[in-house]
Structure formats: C-alpha cells, structure tokens
Amino acid sequence: MPFAFLALIAVGTALMMLPAARAEPGHAPFITALFTATSAVCVTGLAVVDTPGYWSTFGHVLLTVLTQIGGFGIMALATLLSLLVSRRLGLRGRLLAQAESAGLAGGNTARVLRRVALVMLVAESLVAVVLTLRFWLAYDYTFGRALWEAVFHAVQAFNNGGFALYSDSIVRFVTDPWICLSLGLGVMAGSIGFPVLFELAREWRTAGTWSTHTFLTVTGSLLLTAVGFLVFLVFEWRNPGTLGGLSTPGKILAAFTQDVMTRSGGFNSVDLGQLNSETIAVTNGMMFIGGGSASTAGGIKLTTFMLLGYVIWAEIRGEPDVVIRKRRIAEETQRQAVTVALMGVALIAVGTVALDALTENVPFDRALFEVTSAFATVGLSTGITPGLPPSAQFVLVLLMYVGRVGTIAVGTAIALNTRRRHYRYPEERPLVG
C-alpha cells in the first residue's frame, strides 16, 4: 500500500508539472507540484498556491481525479486490510473479528470494492445535486459552471480533500445553509468509515446490536462534534475576525460547519488566521483525533481515542479488564491503540521542531497547527503554508504521506505481528508517576 501511494504521487507530480495544468504560461516548480499532488492523493487539502488562480481547468480536473483515486484507495485498502487481519487470526479471534465487521460482503474482496465504490458515488452524487441546484438557482451560475463546481466540491467533501475553487475556501458561503450543510454532511459521510456506514444502513434502528467498533465510532463522533461546536461558539462568539460580525443563526451555522470540517474536512467557513489561541489549541486536538477507521479521514482515528478513554477509566477505577458494552477488550488491542497514539504524538513533535527550525518569524502555535493538519491530513491552514521555504514544505509533504498511510500500515502490521509465547517472565512493577 505505501508504494502504491508513492507511485500515484509520482504520477500526479509529473502531471501537475505539465504546462497545461497551470493557468499562466510555463510549468509549476517541482516542489509546488509535489506538494499539491501529495495533498490531493493523501486527501489533505493543504496548498502552497492559490488553487483557483494558479491551476488551469485541466489542473483542477487532475486534482479531482487524484483526490477520488486517493480517497477510494484509502477506504478500500483499509477495509480490505481489516479483512486480512481477521483471516490471520486464530479461530476465536476470527469469530470475534467477523462479529465486529459484520456485513463486509462476507469477506469477498470484489464485492467489498464494489460496495465501497457504490457508497462513494452515491454520496458524492447527492451532494453534487444539491450544490448544482443551489449554485444555478441562487447564484446565477450557468448550469455548466454550477455542475462542474458542484462535482468538484462534492468529491472534495466526501473524500475529505478540502481543495476549493475559491481563494477563501467557503468563507463567502458562511451563512448559506444549503452549501455549508451539504458539504458538512458529505464530509461526515466520508469520515465515518465504510464498515460503519454499511452497518448503520442495515441496523440503524437497533443500536443495541451494533458492533463495538460502530458504537465507538458513532458515539465518539457525536461527542467530539458536540464539544467542538460548543468550544467554537464560546471562544469565537465575540471575535470580530470569525463569528463576531454574524447574526446569531449565522454564528450557529458557521460554528457547526467549521466544527465538522475541523477533524477531517479541510474546508474553512471562517478565517482561521483570526482564531483565538484557545480555539487553535482545541482544533489541534480535534485534528489529531480525526475520523473513523477505513474512512477518508486522517488522525489517530476515533476508535483509538475512545478506546484510550476506556482504558484510562478502567485504570482509574482499578478494574482488571477494559469492558465496553459487556465485551472485554483484548490487551493486544489496547497496546495497539497506545502505540498508534504515541507514534502520532512523536511525529507531530518532531515535525513541529523541524518546521520551527527551518522557518523564521513563524509563531510556535501556528507551526504546530500546520504540522498537525498535515499529519492528520485535514488541510486546514492559518495561512502560513504558502510562505514557508521549500525545505519546510517538504517536511509537510512527508507528514502528509506518513499520516495518510502510516497509521493504517502500523495498525495492520501490529495486528498481524501479534504473537503468543508459551512462557512468561517474572512480573516486575516499576514506579509510575
């Protein structure tokens, strides 16, 4: 999988360097093409140039195709890897894995791929229809322009890409519920994960029968959406640079839209460069967590975050086992969650230090924001990315790639490498804390 993404990035870079991909005469510099292709394939949305002004129509089509292929590859490969893990387990583990991934086409690879493609196309089509009608009827776009921009943004929304055909992302539509909610729902559908989408479609009325994975993903998503929405309202309500100048309904819509986009979407409906420091801190945390497993979202994933919360709660209560809905969580799974989370923290720490060392006059909180956005493949930016030197931009390229394929590859490798010894060493208890 990592090599497939590298190959796609290489092809995308070569295509983005073609003179036809640029609006002005000449071809794009290598680092600009590399950054843009990586951002599209890894469905991040970070940009070092003005997307609508710098790239031609051909360049925008390339962005759409690269984002679509990248998003489909992520959802399909992550889902297939989960099936591979279940097949490599013992009988007991395989039965548990089948219960947790019920409905994944019985493990049939071709059927899984078809269903992933169908879900993607249906979701994107629904968003595109609403956007087309809105652009055409409310903004006096020609039907052709309305359809093209609707398709472009629908693909970006479901794949959590975040590229926009407007220099201000979707700030100009901040009070338009048809556009903001359509894009927001598209982002949420893409970030929840294919296994969860399929199970919800089949058993949405019987929450008691949901698998533990679906339960953690849905409850985690609702919890973080509510917390992020309230935090954004509280800290930005009077900020004239973000929500301060809007009406009360406009503030509520903008806060909800930006909250949904924060964990994976990449669009911004307010000027992120004007956010208060408290909001930036919370946004960093939300981006780091990300969306659901086997989805187009990045981050350490909702299940990892929720599982760590249950681990901490069990430790505080002195419980010998971590139990979720009368199901004991395997110690191997707990260790996997801790490993993925700590590796994510380490990558962000190293990336922030590297970015800070390679730049001048960039505040630390802004550098941390860009690094977290790149690692979590969110694509939000406070506006400093275009002005970074090539060396710092290359650091972000590495983070986008590692953040996109790293968590999936590491999680799968750990699961497949699980071994059981027939002996155990004597126990020791070092002091903690």
pLDDT greater than 60 at residue 294: yes
Q: In this predicted structure, what is the pLDDT of residue 208? A: 82
% of the chain at pLDDT higher than 90: 60
- 427 vs 164: which has the higher pLDDT: 164
Q: Rounded mean pLDDT of 343-351? A: 94
431 occurs within a structural domain: no
Q: Residue 35's domain spans which residues?
A: 2-416
432 occurs within a structural domain: no
Please list the alpha-helical segments (H only) found in 237-362.
248-260, 277-289, 302-317, 331-358
Q: What is the pTM of this model?
A: 0.88
Domain count, the chain: 1
Q: Which residue has the tokens 């900020």?
A: 239
Reduce the secondary structure of 123-151 to three states and give it as a string.
HHHHHHHHHHHHHHHHCCCCHHHHHHHHH
Distances (CA, A) of 193 to 13, 80, 82, 199, 433: 28, 13, 12, 10, 37
Q: In this predicted structure, what is the pLDDT of residue 89? A: 41
430 occurs within a structural domain: no
- 178 vs 118: which has the higher pLDDT: 178
424 occurs within a structural domain: no
373 occurs within a structural domain: yes
425 occurs within a structural domain: no
Q: How confident is the model at residue 103 (pLDDT cuts 50, 70, 90)?
A: very low
Q: In this predicted structure, what is the pLDDT of residue 326? A: 85
- The string of pLDDT tens digits covering residues 295-341 is 888 889 999 999 999 999 999 998 989 999 888 998 888 888 898 89
- The string of pLDDT tens digits covering residues 24-75 is 999 999 999 999 999 999 999 999 999 999 999 999 999 999 999 888 877 6
pLDDT greater than 80 at residue 119: yes
- 117 vs 82: which has the higher pLDDT: 117
421 occurs within a structural domain: no
3 state SS of 212: helix
159 occurs within a structural domain: yes
- The string of pLDDT tens digits covering residues 367-376 is 999 999 999 9
- 20 vs 406: which has the higher pLDDT: 20
pLDDT greater than 60 at residue 20: yes
